[in-house]
Structure 1
Amino acid sequence: MAAGQETVLDEYAFLVSETDEKGIIRFANDDFCKIAEFSLDELIGQPHSKVRHKDMPKKAFKSLWDTIQKGEVWTGYVKNATKSGGYYWVFATIYPFESCDGSKGYLSCRRKPSKEEITSIQEVYKLWNKEEGK
């Protein structure tokens, strides 16, 4: 893929990853690895922010972290970066959980958003980025 090129998820793509409570990746499924262009070995032990796109407003991630750290489920639209410098959009649902051993983490499940959903959220994110001086 060329830098700056969008990867559009197919209708059946379902990207799943699990992180610890600090956002360090513990698991990523094949769809996630394929779309993000990273091998599983390149992702495990890395911060999930490794796939954060520079266009994402800080306000969006503040909302995400504020919600999941309270133990609540968060849903929203995220523009992620690929290894080659491209990007892809997802509609994400993030579930906080506690394992049997008492460790906490987050499970993120993502699907393809519609073109209309992307267009709408891009307008919101542009405003937020403007507020943040981006």
Structure 2
Amino acid sequence: MNTNDALRPSKVIDEEVKWDKSKTIISKTDSVGTILYMNDTFEEASEYNKIELIGEPHNIIRHPDMPKVVFKVLWDNLKQGNNFHAIVKNLTRTGRYYWVITDFDVEKDETGKITGYTGRRKALPEKVVKKIEPLYKTLLEIEKIKGEKASELYFNSYLQEEVNSSYEDFVVNLFEKETSNSKENNGEAPSKESGIIKKGINWFFFGETDPK
């Protein structure tokens, strides 16, 4: 699906957008990624309003700093019906950015056919960004110089040699570790979850959800 370039910012600004990081960004798409719904927090973080984005492809907010291989892994899993977590840097309407960790529900009809996806996104601890950003920069440089296949080969080898896990497990462990460390450093006890559990983990909704 083609992105509406008229809605993309004319330039990229190396500045993080301000948004309420205690909230959850929520969107719903059809099976090919067309935006069907977005909550108020999505509007705040992305600086787009609902009128602009409903009916548009979700990749309209894809940041040029993101390597394509991450989205390939994400979509390969979603198309197989797997809920999936990823760390993503998104682009706002004014060219700024915001980092999030994603969680997806895969929606199916009575025959088991995938009809769409509900994505939820939480803000990242700064330490997670600092750990994942160098990897993404390397993948992007390989992609630009050697192509997407070379980037994918390096990505798979990195996961095998450096972290000895899948990308999703790497993301989950990194987020969970830094979130726990942050709470401990602030003298907080681990908080109870809302009861939503994905793949045996219950850390995603550690704060208030935004049902709007």
Same fold, TM-score > 0.5, yes or no: yes
Taking CA–CA contacts closer than 8 Å with sequence separation of 6 or more, which of the two structures ends up with the larger relative contact order? Answer: 1
Structure whose residues are more often strand by fraction: 1
Compute the RMSD of aligned alpha carbons. Answer: 1.9
* 1:114 and 2:125 aligned: yes
SS at match of 1:132: helix
Query: Which runs of no fewer than 5 residues in structure 2 stay unpaired?
Result: 1-11, 146-212
Find the aligned partners of 1:3 and 1:123 in 2 and give their Cα distance: 19
| Larger-gyration structure (1/2) | 2
> Hey, what does 2:58 align to over in structure 1?
48
Q: Is the 8 A contact 1:89 1:118 kept in 2?
A: yes
Find the aligned partners of 1:4 and 1:60 in 2 and give their Cα distance: 21
Output one character per residue of 1:38-87: Cα deviation in whole Å (capped at 9) or x when no partner. Answer: 11111100000111101110000000100100000110110000000111
TM-score normalised per structure 2: 0.59
Q: Percent identity?
A: 34
Q: Which of residues 124, 127, 136 is equivalent to 1:125?
A: 136
Find the aligned partners of 2:55 and 2:16 in 1 and give their Cα distance: 26
Deviation of the 1:3 alpha carbon? 3.3
1:105 maps to a residue whose letter is: G
SS at match of 2:103: strand
> Where in structure 1 do 4 or more consecutive aligned residues deviate above 2 Å?
8-11, 99-103
> Hey, what does 1:76 align to over in structure 2?
86
Check 1:3–1:126 CA distance in 2 against 1; reply closer, same or farther (3 A cut). Answer: closer
Output one character per residue of 1:9-57: Cα deviation in whole Å (capped at 9) or x when no partner. Answer: 4341210001001100000000001110111111100000111101110
SS at match of 1:133: helix
Structure whose residues are more often helix by fraction: 2
Find the aligned partners of 1:106 and 1:11 in 2 and give their Cα distance: 22
SS at match of 2:33: coil
Query: Which runs of no fewer than 5 residues in structure 1 stay unpaired?
Result: none
Find the aligned partners of 1:68 and 1:103 in 2 and give their Cα distance: 9
Find the aligned partners of 2:108 and 2:18 in 1 and give their Cα distance: 33
Q: Is the 8 A contact 2:81 2:114 kept in 1?
A: no
Find the aligned partners of 2:75 and 2:114 in 1 and give their Cα distance: 17
Deviates more, 1:37-46 or 1:10-19: 10-19
Find the aligned partners of 1:8 and 1:100 in 2 and give their Cα distance: 41
